[in-house]
Structure 1
């Protein structure tokens, strides 16, 4: 049975929607929460905009030809949630959603690049996107591929050693308040040094946070034995 995979990839901003807005707001973070197809030639994202006042964002979007039907849904001190239509520079996105039957779980734009995390039903579907990019003079740089295998570690971007450390720590009460154990005891249980345990827990926590929350973060991580 084919296994789904999660792919981290990059697209240059000048080949993607919101290029004009991204260029005019260089220090602003664009984070897409969801993208769905809207008709045959458009996509509808929900997008968080951070580090810019709402009036500056709306002025920049108003000059961007790839955007229509901008709607402010929520606003906070330094971020806003918008719904909009992407009506140009979305060929790659539509290919992923339709021909490849993929799900774009995250997209993060800043500093001239878009970073995407895409769930593909199998490797063949990913190959369709890669071929589409090559055939149409577009860029989709695949940075990492993670197979969604049955083991819990693989599903969450952890090594087996990292998963074992987290599981042991949780079962021993390390994350309770107050803690029922400490790292010295955990290291003894796992038969590793205190330093090795500390590094393993730190990397495992970072992997979980990145996998669950961040897409524009560090693209590679050294394997933890």
Structure 2
């Protein structure tokens, strides 16, 4: 049964730890996460509450970050594309081995908080075992099965919930492990850009 998991990861075990320490007021919201190779992730990130010069200096000094490109800038937020090249083992395991979909991801205050859709309970168990084997922290806040539950229980809109349920029923997440070409980037994205209230505004410490 398809399962939605909410959990948090300490920033020191994840990407952008240096940036979060150097610019403590900054907050990140992932618009999209793309697997760009065997050991790299390419996220699109909305960035808020940060001076642009201080932020980009922190990006340059951050060992987890490769190429960075600013795609858009507005009065109170900016959109960046970048390569995460360190501390991405957990995300790669979710995307490539557990066939998971990252519905939402927020980073601030020294932690990242994720909402992840796993196609089965067993696929989530694989991620849990991976964390234990590699000494990674994924603190679980909630685990909920989708079938028969109202959308509001997951912080999804009715349209998002119906789309996810339909995708499950059509077998969208039933791709056998190893069937995807590793040469083709695999994208995980939310159905619509979530509001900040939909996920309690970001990670809790």
**Per the shorter chain, which TM-score range?**
0.7 to 0.9
TM-fit CA distance, 1:147: 1.2
For CA contacts below 8 A with separation 6 or more, give which structure has more relative contact order: 2
| Farther off after superposition, 53-62 or 91-100 | 53-62
Output the CA distance in 1 between the equivalents of 2:203 and 2:28: 13
3-state SS of paired residue (1:98): helix
Unaligned runs of 5+ in 1: 164-207, 220-225
3-state SS of paired residue (2:153): coil
Q: Which TM-score applies when normalising by structure 1? A: 0.69
3-state SS of paired residue (1:61): helix
Matching residue of 2:104 = 106
| Farther off after superposition, 48-57 or 208-217 | 208-217
3-state SS of paired residue (1:89): coil
Output the CA distance in 2 between the equivalents of 1:48 and 1:75: 10
Q: Determine whether 1:34 maps to 2:32.
A: yes
Q: Would you identify which runs of 4 or more consecutive aligned residues in structure 1 move more than 3 Å? A: 208-215
Q: Deviations over 1:191-214 (max 9, x none)?
A: xxxxxxxxxxxxxxxxx9678465
Matching residue of 2:152 = 156
Matching residue of 1:216 = 202
Matching residue of 2:181 = none
Q: Which TM-score applies when normalising by structure 2? A: 0.75
Q: Which has the larger radius of gyration?
A: 1
Question: In the superposition, relative to structure 1, how do residues 148 and 211 fare at CA in structure 2: closer, same or farther (>3 Å)?
Answer: farther
**Backbone CA RMSD of aligned residues:** 2.3
Q: Does the 8 Å contact 1:29/1:50 carry over to 2?
A: yes
Output the CA distance in 2 between the equivalents of 1:212 and 1:107: 12
- The number of residue pairs the alignment matches comes to 167
Aligned with 1:118 (options 116, 119, 125): 116
Matching residue of 2:85 = 87
Q: Does the 8 Å contact 1:100/1:125 carry over to 2?
A: yes
Q: Does the 8 Å contact 2:28/2:47 carry over to 1?
A: yes
Output the CA distance in 2 between the equivalents of 1:7 and 1:210: 18
Matching residue of 1:49 = 47
TM-fit CA distance, 1:53: 2.3
Q: Does the 8 Å contact 2:106/2:203 carry over to 1?
A: no
